[in-house]
Amino acid sequence: MRAMILDAPNQRLRLADVPSPVPNSHQVLIQVHTCGICRTDLHIVDGELTNSKLPLIPGHQIVGTVVKTGEQVTNFRVGERVGVPWLVWGERILRSVANLTRQDGEEFLALAPHIPIHTEVEAFPLTAANEALDALRSSKIKGTAVLIISE
């Protein structure tokens, strides 16, 4: 699979082909369609979080499709669209799209027009991950940038 890799703090990410991960019996393998990058990613890239295991592939807010499940997985199916919103205790927690559940997303989208919420999306191709990080770092983007994986 193609990925942007951080080899050391304060360096640009590099594009590389890496082996696809193999899920264990309690994990799922997700084909990533989009990946958000946030301040946590900047803290890691800028060396402000010093316990990071390098090299690593930044980005922990993912939307994609389940392509393989471990034999103990019963609550996800191959072909299901899922989201990975944040990290907890060092493991990725899987939820459905909209960072919590589909119902949460639907309820939020129904409320959004009635309260002063302004949202914008700025999309970058995977190979522009460094530009997305620069835009976040310089505050040209507020919140999260989204990397679009298109192959």
Q: What's the confidence (pLDDT) of residue 100?
A: 44
Q: How far apart are CA 146 and CA 151, in angstroms?
A: 16
Q: What's the confidence (pLDDT) of residue 111?
A: 66
Domain of residue 61, CATH code: 3.90.180.10
Q: What is the dihedral of CA 52, 57, 60, 61, to 10 degrees?
A: 150
User: Mean pLDDT highest for which of 33-42, 60-69, 113-122?
Assistant: 60-69
Q: What is the mean pLDDT of residues 70-98?
A: 67
- How does pLDDT run across 12-64, given as a tens digit for each residue? 999 999 999 899 898 999 998 888 777 788 889 999 988 888 999 988 778 88
* More confident site: 41 or 118: 41
- How does pLDDT run across 127-151, given as a tens digit for each residue? 888 988 888 788 787 665 565 655 4
How many other CB atoms are there within 10 angstroms of residue 3's CB atom? 20
The residue segments making up the domain with residue 32 are 2-148
Least confident of 22-31, 78-87, 107-116, 127-136: 107-116
Domain count along the chain: 1
Report the SS3 class of residue 62.
strand
Q: How far apart are CA 85 and CA 35, in angstroms?
A: 10
Which helix H or strand E contains 133, and what residues bound it?
helix 129-137
